[in-house]
Amino acid sequence: MADGEETGQLKEIFQKWDRDGSGDISVAELTRVLTKLNPQLDEAGCQKMFSQMDVNSDGSVQYGEFINWLTGKDGSYQGAKAAIMMDQKRAGGKGADAARKAKLRAKYAKLDKNGDGKLDFVEVYDFLQKRYPNMTLPDLRFLYNCADKSHDGILDFYELLDPWAAVLAEARVSGGHRKGEANENHGSMAIA
């Protein structure tokens, strides 16, 4: 289960998604949030995710079901789960300062293999696979699509800036360094 700070974040996410204040999340509320995160996700995909969350099949997702799904280690919907947490961190966090932006721009340039100033999925796949080794290809694609705010199939620097800032903030808070996370001793993110 989650620690105290994370539990507070999860409660805040749940309350934000429960637009009508009923104490549970309807399929319409879930669809609204998920398609805002990833406009390429269709209604059928949202319904499938909702069905997995609604363990007791009563037609709504209660807080306990939401927490169990979001923090579960079953391997399903890892891209969506990561996107949800990054969106929460981005909403509550501060933007990157100038020095951090410069470092992130250098990392962005390393990912930009063809030097066109844009990243397609192939260019960021290795990075995503290292950052999230247990995610499937569809989960990695979901996470990529969430960052693609212009919905053009490519990421410019500013589309990638917020998710990276959230990842770096998460690494600073957790103090842990998994492959692909920020390393505070060196101030860098491991990128292939």
Domain harbouring 168, CATH code: 1.10.238.10
Mean pLDDT of 91-101: 60
CA distance 116 to 112: 7
CA distance 139 to 79: 4
Q: How confident is the model at residue 191 (pLDDT cuts 50, 70, 90)?
A: very low
| Residue 183, Ramachandran bin (φ over 0: left; ψ between -120 and 50: alpha; else beta) | beta
Q: Which of 80, 17, 71, 6 is nearest to 48 (CA)?
A: 80
**Residue by residue, what is the 3-state secondary structure of 35-93?**
HHHCCCCCHHHHHHHHHHHCCCCCCCEEHHHHHHHHHCCCCCCHHHHHHHHHHHHHHHC
Mean pLDDT of 85-112: 69
Q: What is the pLDDT, as a whole number, of residue 178?
A: 39
Answer yes or no: is 80 within a domain: no
Q: What is the pLDDT, as a whole number, of residue 129?
A: 84
Q: Are residues 20 and 104 in the same domain?
A: no
Answer yes or no: is 104 within a domain: yes
Mean pLDDT of 21-45: 88
- Give the H/E segment covering residue 17: helix 4-17
Beta bridge partners of 21: none
Q: How confident is the model at residue 101 (pLDDT cuts 50, 70, 90)?
A: confident
Our count of domains for the chain comes to: 2
CA distance 77 to 49: 8
Answer yes or no: is 34 within a domain: yes
Angle between helices 78-92 and 63-71 (to 10 degrees): 110
Answer yes or no: is 90 within a domain: no
State the residue range of the domain holding 102: 96-189
**Domain C-terminal end among 72, 87, 107:** 72
Q: Are residues 47 and 107 in the same domain?
A: no
| Percent over 70 (pLDDT), the chain | 70
Mean pLDDT of 78-107: 67
pLDDT above 90 for 62: yes
Answer yes or no: is 109 within a domain: yes
Q: Are residues 107 and 177 in the same domain?
A: yes
Kindly report whether the global pTM for this prediction surpasses the value 0.75: no
Give whole-number Cα distances, 9 to 36, 79, 187, 192, in Å: 19, 18, 26, 31
Q: Are residues 111 and 168 in the same domain?
A: yes
pLDDT above 60 for 42: yes
CB 139 within 8 A of CB 80: yes
Q: What is the pLDDT, as a whole number, of residue 35?
A: 84
Q: Are residues 49 and 110 in the same domain?
A: no
Q: Are residues 172 and 115 in the same domain?
A: yes
pLDDT above 70 for 167: no
CB 182 within 8 A of CB 147: no
- Strongest mean pLDDT among 19-23, 125-129, 182-186: 19-23
CB 159 within 8 A of CB 108: no
